[in-house]
Structure 1
Amino acid sequence: MKTVVILGAGYGGMRAVKRLAHAKTAVRLVLVNQNPYHYESTQLHQVAVGTKEPEDITFDIRKAVPKGVEVIIDRVISVDQDSKTVNLSRSGSLGYDYLINALGFESETFGIKGAEENGLPLVDLDTALAARRHLEGTLEGYRQTKDENDLHIVVCGAGFTSIEYLGELVHRMPSLVSRYGLPADKIKIDCVEASGKILPMFSQDLVQWAVTYLEKRGVVFHVSTPITEVRPGIVMSNDQEFTANTIIWTTGVRGSHVIADSGYNEKRNRVIVQKDLSVEGHPEEFLVGDISAVPDPQTGRPYPTTGQISVAEADTAAANVLARLAGKEPRAFAFKSVGTVCSLGPHAGVAEIDKLGKWKLKGSIVGVLKKIVNDRSVFELSDLRTMLESN
């Protein structure tokens, strides 16, 4: 019996497992993940701000996977392509005939001095909880320290995660001010971005609406302001200083370090894959999600790494494993976005939907739409009961 191994239980990994299991092909199907739970990475910012608890965005992998799937809770150290084995921290080596690697992302510091030591990333449940504890502890501490930097927050980056974090933060801030008895007029929230653009994936009118929404609630944007160093309590842009005792680092992500550790030909831990998502020279191995660089045939540039694309890639990878098992030719990956939804807290946001024409949405309707998207994700990766339990 052939062994198919899936690495990672994020959006791509869970989707591939379900596709392969439901095909009812006679294979040994093994899912490897570092944690016993799946978390909705698109909701980490809510845990980081404190508007959701970890149990709201997680579910038990073992309960969610179809019957017959083996689940190994262990950390992947490396992949040996020549011997077709995955090296695990506690379980030793795991052999495979086919591999779908969906190990996910890590924070990207771009080599900026002090960023890793002094910034708070939002890349998994642990880092989101650490950011929340720091935020709440620093704000609460102001009553004793009277240090106004305890009331200052700098968000580094103005991409998707940064803006969603800011939206959630300004939504919760009034309750935090009340809870800790803080002077509301001394709260300061800065967003520092190297490029001249905010939310580059959206049209300018929606970007302007989002920026205005956040500015009215106290956020100050600094675009074309490259970060050159991060010190304890200070974000530097050449000679300009932004002081804050809470520094959120959301400038970008790279793929899992396992890619570089395994000797792949990579850039930022992403590998340019073949049209069928396989690795050059290894037709039995498929990469999906944040470790996979898939060229967009229209632009020639890799698609951005999103949950939507990861799920689409997982569908193709699973179909191609089944094709290989049946002695058939794999299919090329094709992708058409159904749209993008960016929340600004639970009751507002901006969205572009590509369904029966291009729809541009803003305001409270996007908050409802975001919840629908999140619920659908949980339902598709697990089941109805899990979805209902998460609400």
Structure 2
Amino acid sequence: MRKVVVIGGGYGGIKALEEFARNDQNIEVTLIDQHTYHYLQTESYDLVASKIPIQESFIYLPTLVASFGKNFHFIHDEAVAIKEDQVVCKEGTYPFDYCVIATGSVTKFLQGFEKKGKHSLGVKSLRAALHIKQYFEEELFARLEPKRAKRSFRVIVIGGGLSGVEIAAEMRCYFNQYVKENALSCGNIEIQLLSKHILKGVDQKTRDKAVKRLRQLGVSLVPQYVNEITEQKAILSGGETIDFDFAIFAGGIEPSPFIQNLEYTKDARGFLVVDEYLRVEKNIFAVGDVAVLKDKEGNLIPPTAQSAEQSGVIAAKNILQAISNQPLQRADIRLRGLAIALGGKYAIIVTPFGFQISGILGWIGKKAIEKGYKWPLKLKAKQGFEKLTACKGEK
């Protein structure tokens, strides 16, 4: 029986598992992750804005993996190295015939941000999202007292990419709605989005519509880069400084320490260089944010949930092909449109056919995409719960 180890239970790792589960070959698949959950980062902003409970923001990995069958196993451990066809973790070593590296990326912080405390965080982890949610809820609760309600409060969001735009819009909408429902004054709560560019790389029509929506909500746009963060002060590229009460960093990613320690070929940023079949070595594949992904024309593919999912499927198919001594499939990753949540029941969907859907219809479409991904996994996890011996008889 061939052994396959998947490192990382993110979007790419989960799609690889699903692809392995669809085949009837005699393989044993082990998923290793330092967390016991698959974090649904696309829904993190709804979590921060208290639109969904915490259990709707993740999938429990032990039950999900159990649903795929007796040859699928979950190991809660942290990978630290790959040596001689073995994944070396803090708690054990796991041999493999084939391996898929799908550990994702981490936030690349600015100078000063690495010393972040209670006043500043990134947004790529469930723990960070919960911290931000708690901080804002405590601030809003305090504003029920008249004296505290008059105090000005400034949140800065650093980064004008998809994550920055979505979190700025959702938080502004969240504050607006809270104030409206509780008859409070909102003028002294400020959300600033700091970035030289908004949605760089997206078509001009979509950018213009997104900027218009941000301004309608009341988000202040500051068209400068942030060079450094000190204690509750942002130093801008133009030399100015901005004081803040809370900062959210949503710009830039870098490889995790695990990837940094690997000795495979990497690009200038430290991400793994893969061949046309997504291999870093003959029997080791890399997918999602950890890999330098390109389309068939050689154009770089941005790190998104879409590209992670597609690369996870391709890597799994190629492993199955290799086991069967069949030709491998060249990666042809293509982004099929774009969905941008812009606060409340408003979103923009850029379809692969060139037209847009915006407003509440865009929001409905985006939610349909999210639910279409989450609900099947939730159902599988429920089935896996029934299969786990330790859970027999529990309700």
Q: Normalization by structure 2: what TM-score?
A: 0.88
What is the SS of the residue equivalent to 1:264? coil
Partner of 1:30: 30
Do the aligned residues in 1 keep the contact of 2:64 with 2:381 (CA within 8 Å)? Answer: no
Determine the C-alpha separation between the residues in 1 that align with 2:275 and 2:378.
29
Do the aligned residues in 2 keep the contact of 1:14 with 1:381 (CA within 8 Å)? Answer: no
Do the aligned residues in 1 keep the contact of 2:161 with 2:251 (CA within 8 Å)? Answer: yes
Determine the C-alpha separation between the residues in 1 that align with 2:284 and 2:193.
40
Partner of 2:234: 235
- More displaced stretch, 260-269 vs 202-211: 260-269
Go from structure 1 to structure 2 and tell me whether the alpha carbon gap of 1:165 and 1:312 turns closer, same or farther (over 3 Å shift): same
Determine the C-alpha separation between the residues in 2 that align with 1:284 and 1:230.
43
Go from structure 1 to structure 2 and tell me whether the alpha carbon gap of 1:353 and 1:336 turns closer, same or farther (over 3 Å shift): same
1:343 pairs with 2:329:
no
**Counterpart selection for 1:160 from 162, 183, 204:** 162
Do the aligned residues in 2 keep the contact of 1:271 with 1:292 (CA within 8 Å)? Answer: yes
1:372 pairs with 2:368:
yes
Go from structure 1 to structure 2 and tell me whether the alpha carbon gap of 1:145 and 1:74 turns closer, same or farther (over 3 Å shift): farther
Partner of 2:129: 128
Partner of 1:74: 77
Do the aligned residues in 2 keep the contact of 1:150 with 1:244 (CA within 8 Å)? Answer: no
Determine the C-alpha separation between the residues in 2 that align with 1:21 and 1:296.
26
Do the aligned residues in 1 keep the contact of 2:274 with 2:291 (CA within 8 Å)? Answer: yes
Partner of 2:188: 186
**1:304 CA displacement:** 0.3
Query: What's the % identity of the aligned pairs?
Result: 21
1:16 pairs with 2:16:
yes
Do the aligned residues in 1 keep the contact of 2:153 with 2:188 (CA within 8 Å)? Answer: yes
What is the SS of the residue equivalent to 1:329? coil
Do the aligned residues in 2 keep the contact of 1:153 with 1:188 (CA within 8 Å)? Answer: yes
Go from structure 1 to structure 2 and tell me whether the alpha carbon gap of 1:101 and 1:107 turns closer, same or farther (over 3 Å shift): same
1:304 pairs with 2:296:
no
**1:180 CA displacement:** 7.7
Partner of 2:45: 45
Do the aligned residues in 1 keep the contact of 2:345 with 2:360 (CA within 8 Å)? Answer: yes
Go from structure 1 to structure 2 and tell me whether the alpha carbon gap of 1:16 and 1:150 turns closer, same or farther (over 3 Å shift): farther
Do the aligned residues in 2 keep the contact of 1:254 with 1:269 (CA within 8 Å)? Answer: yes
Do the aligned residues in 2 keep the contact of 1:351 with 1:366 (CA within 8 Å)? Answer: yes
Determine the C-alpha separation between the residues in 1 that align with 2:23 and 2:344.
37
Partner of 1:289: 288
**Counterpart selection for 2:329 from 328, 331, 334:** 331
Q: Write the mapping of 1:190-339 to structure 2, written as runs, cut at 5 A.
A: 190-193=192-195, 195=196, 197-223=197-223, 225-238=224-237, 239-266=239-266, 267-279=268-280, 282-298=281-297, 300-339=298-337
Paired amino acid for 1:134: Y
CA RMSD, aligned part only? 2.3
Unmatched 5+ stretches in structure 1: none
Go from structure 1 to structure 2 and tell me whether the alpha carbon gap of 1:349 and 1:18 turns closer, same or farther (over 3 Å shift): same
**1:148 CA displacement:** 7.4
Determine the C-alpha separation between the residues in 1 that align with 2:355 and 2:380.
29
Do the aligned residues in 2 keep the contact of 1:48 with 1:122 (CA within 8 Å)? Answer: no
Deviation digits for residues 195-220 of structure 1, max 9, x if unmatched? 3x211243212211111111122111
Do the aligned residues in 2 keep the contact of 1:51 with 1:172 (CA within 8 Å)? Answer: no
Partner of 1:104: 104
**1:145 CA displacement:** 8.0
What is the SS of the residue equivalent to 1:216? helix
What is the SS of the residue equivalent to 1:70? strand
Go from structure 1 to structure 2 and tell me whether the alpha carbon gap of 1:245 and 1:141 turns closer, same or farther (over 3 Å shift): farther
Deviation digits for residues 277-323 of structure 1, max 9, x if unmatched? 001xx21000000101022343x442101111111111110110001
**1:327 CA displacement:** 1.3
Do the aligned residues in 2 keep the contact of 1:154 with 1:244 (CA within 8 Å)? Answer: yes
- More displaced stretch, 34-43 vs 123-132: 34-43
**1:114 CA displacement:** 0.8
Determine the C-alpha separation between the residues in 2 that align with 1:156 and 1:64.
35
**1:175 CA displacement:** 3.9
Partner of 2:389: none
What is the SS of the residue equivalent to 2:373? helix
Partner of 2:388: none
Determine the C-alpha separation between the residues in 2 that align with 1:246 and 1:57.
23
- More displaced stretch, 233-242 vs 26-35: 233-242
Determine the C-alpha separation between the residues in 1 that align with 2:335 and 2:382.
26
Go from structure 1 to structure 2 and tell me whether the alpha carbon gap of 1:78 and 1:149 turns closer, same or farther (over 3 Å shift): farther
